[in-house]
Structure 1
Amino acid sequence: MAGETQDKGWLNQLLDEPGVRMIWITNSISAIAGSVMRRFAFSIHFRSLNRRQRVSMWKSTLRRHHAKSGFNSEEINRMAIRYPVSAAIIDLSIRKALETSTPGQAAFKKAVTMNLDAYLTLINDGIKPKSRETIEDNYSLEGLNVGENLPTVMENLKEFDHCLRRSDRHAIRNFNLLFYGPPGAGKSELARFVAGHLERELVVSRASDVISPYVGETEQNISRVFADAEAAEAVLVIDEVDSFLFNRSHAVRSWEISQTNEFLIQMERFQGIPICTTNRFEDLDQASVRRFNFKIGFRCLKPKGNIIFYRKLLSPLTLAPLKKEWREMIENIGDLTPGDFRVVRDRFAIFPQKRVTHGMMVQALQEESRIKKLQEGKKPFGFIQRN
C-alpha cells in the first residue's frame, strides 16, 4: 500500500470491484495514500488498552488459563498500572510462566514480571524503562499547607468522576484544576494522589514533551496529548503549564498566541480531569486562569506540617525517639516544603538506622532552609536595565 514507485491503480481497482469482501489489518495508516483509504466502506481504530481495560484483561486471561490464584485484585491493579501492554502480551507472559511454575507460587509471579520487563526492554531499544509515575507509599493530605479545603475538592472530584464513568456524557462540563506554588510544595504528588484516589491512570506531560521547533507542530502535540489522555481515561497532568499559558499581551510572535489558544481549546473540550501545575502563577495569562474550576495554592509548611512530614519521612531513619527539644527545633525551621524532607530522607536513607541521628537530619533541614533564603535574596548577574 505504501510503495512510492509501484502503481496503486491495481489496488484501487481491486477495492472497487463489486461484491468483494475483505478485512484489512494494519499497525499504522501514516503511509497509506488517501486515495486508498477513502475506498474502505468501514474502519475501526483500536486504541491501546487503558488501565481499567487492562485490569479486566488480566482477570479474564488468568481465568482462561485457570490461574486465578496467581494474583489477587490488588496485585492485578498494580500490574495494570506498571505494565501498559496489549492483551496479547499479557496472555503470552502468563502462558510462558505456566510452563515453569504453578499459580499461587512466588515463582509464577516472578516469571510473569520477568517476561513483561523483558518485553518492555525489547521495545525500548534494550533500555529498561523507568518506573511509571507512582505516589509515596505513606502519602496523605495531612500537613500540606494549601489555600483550598482539600477534602471538599476531593469530594467534588469524586462526583465528577462518577459523571465521567456514566454512559450518558452529554451533560459533562469541565473540571480543570490549577496547582500553583513554590517548588517541592507537593503539587505533583497531590496530582498522583488524585489519580490513585479515583483509580485512574496518570499521564504526565511536560513542556519538553510537547514544544517543537517547527511551526504548527506544537499545536498538534498539544491536541495529541489531550486526545491520548481522554482515550486512556486518565488524569492528565500538565507540568510547567506557564510555558503554554503565559501572558498573551507579552507575545511577540503569532505562534506564541496560537499555542496558548490551542491549549485552552483542548482543555475546554477535554472530557476528563486535567491538572496543571506551575511555580510561576504570577506569569500566567489572566484570561487563562479563569478557565480553572479550582485554583489551589501551595505554600511552605506550617510548624505543625514540619512535624508531620518529619515523622512520616525522617523519623523512621533513626532508632532514637523524637524528644521535645528536637520537635521545637523542627517547628522553628521556616520555608520548608515536603520536597525538602524528601531530599534529606534520600540523603540519609542509605545509612543504617544506628548511624543516623535526629541532630544530623535537623541540621540538614536547617541548611535547606538557609540555602532557600539565600536564593530568594540573591542579586542578579550580568547587565541590568535601568528605567
Structure 2
Amino acid sequence: MLSGWNALLWGKPGTGKTQLACLLAGLANLTLYTLRSEEDANTFRRNGMQSRVSELLLAQRLLGRNGSCMLLVDEGDDLLMSGTIAKNRRHQLLEDNPVPVIWTTNDVASIDAACLRRFNWLQQFEFPNPDTRIRLFTKAVRGLGITRQQIAHWAERTWLSQADIQRVASLMRSLGLKRKDAADAIEHWLDQRERAFNIESDECPGNPIGKRAGGKSQTKEAACAYRMEGEFDAGLLNLRGRDGQLQQDIDIAELMASLKQSREGRILLHGLPGTGKTALVHHLGKQLGCEVVQRLGSELLHKYVGESEQAMAQAFAEARERNAILFLDEVDSLLTDRRSHHQGWETSQVNELLQQIEHFDGMLVVASNFLDRLDTAVARRFDYQLELCPLLPAQLHGALEGCVDKATLREIGSSLPGLGAVTLGDIAVLKRRQRLQRRKLGAAEILRILKKLIAGRERGNAKPIGFLQGSSMVCQG
C-alpha cells in the first residue's frame, strides 16, 4: 500500500468505527495494531515513557519493515487538533507514514481543514436509521423468542447504537432469559439507560451521546422519542371534516407516494390538538425509512438576540446532514404574523425561519394548532397544506373497537353521535387509563372521560370577547 495513506472515521460512540477498521484490515489481509490510547499513554508518561507522538513514529518505523500491517489510532483527537503539536509535525504524521493508518474520533470540529484535506478517506458514522435498527435488533435477539412488534417498539429509540443493541442482547443470553422475561428485561434496560442519559445531559431533554465538543447537546429529540399509544392507523386520520366531504387537494396515500419518489417536500399540518399530526409525521418517517428530527417551537426560542436564528439554522443543518425529516411542532410560536410585531427581533426570527424553509431541499413538516396566527407569507412556502379534523362517526367507532370490548361499545354506541369533536388523542387517553389502571373502563367512565376532554378543548379554543381582548380581565364564551 502507498505511503501516506490515512483514513478518518468519525461519529458518535458505539456506531461501529472500530469494527469497520478491523473489517478493513481483514479484507486487505493486514495485521491491525492499535496505538495506546491517550489516557493510557498519560499514565505511562508519568513513569518516563515516550509521548504518544513518539510512540506513533516508533510504531511506523517498526511496522513499516513488515509491509503487511495496518495501524489504528483510536480517539486520535489529541494528535490531530490544533495547538497540541506543531503544525508541520501534524502534517508529517499524515504524509510520510509508511504504514496505513485508520484514525477514529467522535468529532471533527477541533480538527483544522488543512489537516482534514490530507486524509485519503473521510467517513462519518451516525446512529442507525429505523429500518437498520430493526434489522440489527432482529439479528441480535434471534432465538430469544422476541416478537416483531416488540422489536419495532424498541427500535423507535433514535439514540440506540449498534453497540447498545449488541450489548443488551448479549446480556439476555448471559442471563439465560427468553420470551416474556427477556422482553421485560430489555424494556427495563432501555428505560434505565434512557433515564441515565437524561440525568447526565446538560439540559432536559438531552442526550450525552449526542454532545458536541464543549458539552452542548447536539440532539434534543433522542431522550424524548415519540411513542404512540397503540398501533398507527392512517384510516383514522380525518381529512374530510365533519361533513365527510374531502377538503384537501391530496390524500395520505398520494402524499406518501409523492414523498417516496421525490424524497423532498414541505408540508403544513394544522388542526385541533390530538387529531394525529405528530403521529402522521412519525408514520411518514417509518414508511420512508427516515429519522425524524423533531423540534418544538419553544426549543428554538432563546432570550438573547441571534440565538434563536442560530438554533433554527442548526436544526435545518442537522436534518440535512442526517437526511432526516425535519418536524417543527407548535410552529405558531415561531411564525407569528409580522404585522402584530412590536420588536425588531420578532420580525428577524420570522424572516430567518422563512428563509430556511425557502432554501431547504429535504423533507420538512410543520404543525400548528392555530393556523390563523401564522404569517401570511407562510402558505406559499409549503407544497401541501393538510387540515386534520376530529374523528368521523365511523372512524370513532373503529377507534373504540380496538380499545373497549364489544358489549361496552354496544352500550355507548347510541351516545357517540352527540358527543362532539372526539380526536385520536382522546382515544389515546382512554388506552393509557386502561393500561395504568390494569382494567377495562366501563361505558359510563368512557363517556365521562370523553365529555371532559371535549369540554376542556372547547374552553381552550374559545376566543375572548372583542372589546376585552386588550384587558387583563378576559371573558371567554
More strand by share: 2
Q: What SS class does the counterpart of residue 237 from structure 1 fall into?
A: strand
Q: CA deviation at 1:256?
A: 2.7
| Alpha-carbon distance change, 227 to 347 in structure 1, aligned in 2, over 3 angstroms | same
User: Are 1:49 and 2:135 matched, yes or no?
Assistant: no
> Normalising by the residue count of structure 1, what TM-score does the alignment of the two structures yield?
0.75
| Counterpart pick for 1:290 among 355, 363, 380 | 380
Matched residue SS, 1:124: helix
Per the TM alignment, residue 202 of structure 1 is displaced from its structure 2 partner at its CA by 2.7
Deviations 1:176-226 (A, max 9, x none): 111111222222222233223334333321012222222222222212222
Q: Kindly report the root-mean-square deviation, in angstroms, between the aligned alpha carbons of the 2 structures.
A: 3.9
Report Cα offsets for 1:36-55 as digits up to 9, x if no partner.
Answer: 55344346362422415743
**Which residue number corresponds to residue 351 of structure 2?**
261
Matching residue of 2:367: 277
- Say if 2:233 is the partner of 1:154: no
Matched, 1:358 2:443: yes
The residue correspondences of 1:232-247 to structure 2 (distance < 5 A) are 232-247=322-337
Alignment deviations for residues 147-199 of structure 1 (CA, whole Å, 9 cap, x no partner): 555973332323422443xxxxxxxxx41111111222222222233223334
**Offset, 1:143:** 4.5
What is the rounded CA distance, in whole Å, between the counterparts of 1:346 and 1:96 in structure 2? 30
Question: Where do 1:197-276 residues align within 5 Å?
Answer: 197-276=287-366
Question: Which segments of 5 or more consecutive residues in structure 2 lack a partner in the other structure?
Answer: 1-75, 202-206, 208-221, 241-246
Separation in 2, partners of 1:208, 1:278 = 13
Aligned to 1:179: 269
CA shift in 2, pair 1:138/1:175, >3 Å: same
Cα 1:55/1:300, change in 2 over 3 Å: closer
Identity of aligned residues (%): 21
Matches of 1:95 and 1:307, distance apart in 2: 44
Q: Which residue of 1 aligns with 2:161?
A: 86
CA distance in 2, matches of 1:300, 1:119: 37
2:107 aligned residue (28, 31, 52): 28
**Residues paired across the two proteins, number:** 359
Name stretches of at least 5 consecutive residues in structure 1 with no aligned partner: 165-173
Q: Which residue of 1 aligns with 2:238?
A: 145
Q: Which residue of 2 aligns with 1:336?
A: 422
Give the residue type in structure 1 aligned to 2:388.
F
Tell me the secondary structure at the aligned position of residue 82 of structure 1. Answer: coil
Q: How does 1:40-79 map to 2 (within 5 A)?
A: 40-42=116-118, 44=122, 46-52=124-130, 54-55=132-133, 58=136, 62=140, 68-70=142-144, 76-79=151-154
- 1:351 deviates by 4.6
CA distance in 2 between counterparts of 1:88 and 1:26 reads 16
| TM superposition shift of 1:252 | 3.7
**Which structure is higher in RCO with an 8 Å CA cutoff and minimum separation 6?**
1
**Cα pair 1:58 1:76 within 8 Å, conserved:** no
Question: Which of these two proteins has the greater Rg computed from alpha carbons?
Answer: 2
* TM-score, normalised via structure 2 length: 0.62
For the residues of structure 2 that align with 1:162 and 1:235, how far apart are their CA atoms? 15
